[in-house]
Structure 1
Amino acid sequence: MCSSAQSPEPVTGLPPARFRPAGDSALLVEYGEAEFDLRLNFLVHAVQQRMREAAVPGVLDLVPGLRSLMVNFDPDLLGYDRLISVLREVHGDLPGLAELVLPSRSITLPIAFDDPGTLEAIRRYAEAHPGRAGTDIDRLVEFNGLAGRDEFFGYVLGTTWWVAFTGYFPGQPFLYPMTCDRLLVAPKYNPPRAWTQEGAVSMGGPSVSIMPLEGPGGYQMLGRTLPIMDMRRTNKAFKADPLLLRPADRIGFHLVSGERLSELRSQVFSGEFDYRIDDGEVAVREFLEQPPRLAVA
């Protein structure tokens, strides 16, 4: 087993990579420092794309994180040293960050803020934890020093959200803002909730997430959207994959009422609803030319 290694100086404007063994058949590649920086995530997806194109014998899976890439491999076909050598070659062939162009789908989803299911989850939690009052959105407005709920709604609806990675539950996306000039953050529930509805849209730190199924949760709840997982594949959006969202997708939300959302969800389950999914790409240069963002360490 090889030891942890760090590539010397950044190549072609890229941050350094650290290689960390993760058991006998996996390698964790980390980029940059432990802070919120979407540029690192763009790099992760660029490396993942190049590794897929290379089709290296023995590489079984490539799993992106916020600033890391987990490479699962067959140790009978590929060793650590050879894998690290391949990754160094990929890094060396990449252009600078500003020149990266990533395939990226654009997906538009409805959101109903403070829908009945969200308010029910908040009510249940308040019953078990006396002293907690108000909605999570009201709490986030105060926490971030906003003028009111409308300013918060404008932030969520006016932002393009980048799917940096998926995980925790199958297909659960973690979304980060691409287009805002202000970064809002949210504290987590302490202790976590015992119940969160499927389709719940919630926020923790700078990240927004969508629940693919019912379960516990600790993010502040904003509302609800359409299903993002369908194991029965009743809607054509799920025919190829029961999980709707992928890393490197871009998500936009538009406002609907709770009643209208219920109608749309029924259309999803009947197979009548057409998810709005458009193929495209992201030029990292355009992101870098936007106003600077706050970093969250």
Structure 2
Amino acid sequence: MLPFTICPVGDTAVLARFEQRIAPDIGASVTALNLRVAAAKIHGVVETVPAFASLLVFYDPLQTDYDAVASAVQALAQTSDGGALAGQGRLVEIPVCYGGSFGPDLPFVAKHAGLSEQEVIARHAGREYRIYMLGFLPGFPYLGGLDERLFTPRLDTPRTVIPAGSVGIGGEQTGVYPIASPGGWQLIGRTPLTLFDPGTGKLPYAAGDRIRFCPISEAEFEAIAQKEARG
């Protein structure tokens, strides 16, 4: 695990801060520390929030204090887990219908990259993406690992409504909108999966996991959508 520093955040949280850069090794270290904190069941800790290069650990000040939690988190950096908590995360496959009405910005992304639309799809679906953090919307995954040829500027004027399940590119990142929302990313496809359930708050992935997008046809999209609607 890479080194980190510890500092207080108010009177109810500890921040483990790694080198401030977005990179796979930093993301893996954040994930590994998050897993270790969860496994350690530190007295008084109530929640963790992983981000690109840090882990925020909330605690109940009526049960513990900053010094105790900070010491426990720092000690976990030296813990040997035999590779069990290496920070790789689960691999989650998400079906995506690219282009057409599901991905209206695919032609622009292809033109900007100097590629055909099929080449954009192949490059986008041809690798795994690490979920560095969740934010902006409930369950919105900020993904690292986008092919540099696909880096595309955000829209000059954001859309007021983006359908749930839309997959987009914003600058050097790609992600998927779990619920309908305004947004300015270039939309290249959509998944028929229901990613976020407001009733339960459940998601099929978490920060630290990996996502692979799997191309599907419109017919497959409709079949999966109907199955999702039936529950």
Task: Provide the TM-score with structure 2 as the length reference.
Answer: 0.87
What's 2:110 paired with?
141
One-letter code aligned to 2:124: V
Structure 1 position 77 matched with structure 2 position 63 = yes
* CA-to-aligned-CA distance 1:84-125 (integer Å, 9 cap, x gap): 2112211122589x9962363222221111242543xxxxxx
Cα distance in 2 for partners of 1:80, 1:205 equals: 38
Corresponding residue for 1:220? 186
User: Structure 1 residues 186, 42: CA separation in 2 closer, same or farther (over 3 Å shift)?
Assistant: same
Aligned amino acid, residue 89 of structure 1: A
Give the counterpart of 1:106 among 91, 99, 104: 91
Note closer, same or farther for the CA distance 1:147–1:103 as it changes in structure 2 (3 Å cut).
closer
Of 144, 162, 167, the residue aligned with 2:135 is 167
1:229 partner amino acid: F
Q: 2:211 aligns with which of 233, 251, 254?
A: 251
Relative to structure 1, is the Cα distance of residues 82 and 232 closer, same or farther in structure 2, using a 3 angstrom cutoff? closer
* SS across alignment from 1:104: coil
CA RMSD of aligned residues (A): 2.6
How far off is 1:37 after superposition? Answer: 0.6
SS at match of 1:102: coil
Q: 1:99 to 1:152 in 2, by over 3 A?
A: same
Query: What's the % identity of the aligned pairs?
Result: 26
TM superposition shift of 1:160: 1.3
- Say if 1:232 and 1:86 are closer, same or farther in 2 by CA, change over 3 A: closer
2:17 is matched with which residue?
30
Indicate how the Cα distance of structure 1 residues 174 and 81 shifts in structure 2: closer, same or farther if over 3 A, else same. Answer: same
Please state whether the residue corresponding to 1:93 is helix, strand or coil: coil
- State the shift of 1:262 in Å: 1.9
Q: Note the residue ranges of structure 2 that are not aligned, 5 or more in a row.
A: none
1:92 is paired with a residue whose SS is: coil
- State the match for 1:129 in structure 2: none
* DSSP 3-state at the match of 1:109: strand
SS of aligned partner of 1:110: strand
Find out whether 1:58 has 2:44 as its counterpart: yes
Task: Give 1:140 shift.
Answer: 2.4
Contact 1:202 1:219 in 2 (8 A): yes
Distance 1:83 1:232 in 2: 32
1:186·1:205 contact (CA, 8 Å) conserved in 2? yes
Normalising by the residue count of structure 1, what TM-score does the alignment of the two structures yield?
Answer: 0.69
The Cα shift of 1:16 comes to 3.3
* 172 and 256 in structure 1: CA distance in 2 versus 1, 3 angstrom threshold: same
1:147-226 counterparts in 2 under 5 A?
147-177=115-145, 182=148, 184-225=150-191, 226=193
Shift of 1:154: 1.1
Partner of 1:45 in structure 2?
Answer: 31
Asked if residue 230 in structure 1 is aligned to residue 197 in structure 2, the reply is yes
* Aligned equivalents of 2:107, 2:7: Cα separation in 1: 42
Deviation at 1:80, TM superposition (A): 1.9
Output the CA distance in 1 between the equivalents of 2:60 and 2:187: 41
Equivalent AA in structure 2 for residue 50 of structure 1: R
From the superposition, tell whether residues 67 and 94 of structure 1 become closer, same or farther in structure 2 (CA, over 3 Å). Answer: farther
